[in-house]
Amino acid sequence: MYQDEIIIDGLQYCHWDRAYFESLKASGVTAVHATLVYHENARETLTRFAEWNRLFELNHDLIMPVMSMADVRNAKALGKVGVFFGAQNCSPLDDEIGLVEVMRKQGLLIMQLTYNNQSLLATGCYEQEDSGVTRFGKQVIEEMNRVGMIIDMSHSAERSTLEAIDLSSRPICISHANPSRTHNALRNKSDEVIRALTERGGLLGFSLYPFHLPDGSKCTLEAFCQMVAETANAYGVEHLAIGSDLCLNQPQSVLEWMRNGRWSKSKDYGEGSASNSGWPAALPWFPDASGLKNIYKGLRDIGFSETEAAGVLGRNWLRFLEAGLEPAYTQTS
């Protein structure tokens, strides 16, 4: 049953405060991948770590840091919510490859090679031309593989994503995106990408962000679960998970920081429509983290076994991260 399982949300950027941590705990979520940074540089990233250290200190009865999947199991046993960190861009590296290992040791477990734009490592999904993984990107992929940092290509363009899958010696993830056959959002992924990802042992986290769902905020729970079922039939349920992309209680300024960073003087609407300039209306069946329980039930209702539903809701993340976070080797003096 849901309450007995390890439940992992593979991507959130909510307003992190005690009230939300209480909500997470009450919802039965075991662990959440929290976006630490979008466009922050290395020095600013360290400040984000410091801010989270203070949150852990003040809310130690509710949340705990996750450095390995043993911490997730411990969080489950203690009745706390484990929090592990990722970056939605490569900005924490500046242009210094040695910072891959530094950030990993600080607790950055996952990093996207790009956000929406061209980065030093690869091409983002909103660029017109996709030049693929760069020379620097190839070395960063190798270094991430070495130190046990997960490669995430959620916001990357097609060629760059396929090249990253091929170049990486370890399976990678797409933590929060959906099949493009269900919705043609630029960030959603083609069958070619999902096939390559899963054939190499990678993981796809389904997004609950309405702009990436069929019928947007009107997408039904049944339609969402049917999308998961179709993908499971095609590529294997063991490669599927949830990365909700939930941004609960965040102001408009946060949305503008995600999209614009410091690179644009004008508002970037992402998909090119001013109708996307604000937060979308929440899905009625996924108003907050408690929506994961609804997904579990929805998957069971359309024919998933308890084991399969538990896999999608957390066990697949647990297994994937357990293997991917182990360093290939450790430097010694």
| pLDDT tens-digit map of 21-38 | 999 999 999 999 999 999
Domain over 7-324 is classified CATH 3.40.640.10? no
pLDDT of res. 271:
54
Low-confidence ranges of the chain (pLDDT < 70): 269-276, 330-333
Q: What is the CA radius of gyration of the chain?
A: 18
Res 272: pLDDT: 47
pLDDT, residue 275, reads: 54
Domains of the chain by residue range: 7-324
Rounded to an integer, what distance in angstroms lies between the CA atom of residue 18 and that of residue 289?
14
- Residue 325 near residue 45, CB atoms below 8 Å: no
pLDDT at 332: 46
Residue-level pLDDT at 330: 55
**Rounded Cα distance, 240 and 228, in Å:** 8
Residue 257 is predicted with a pLDDT of 86
Q: What is the pLDDT of residue 270?
A: 61
- This prediction has a pTM of 0.95
Residue pLDDT, tens place only, 282-326: 999 999 989 999 999 999 999 999 999 999 999 999 999 999 999
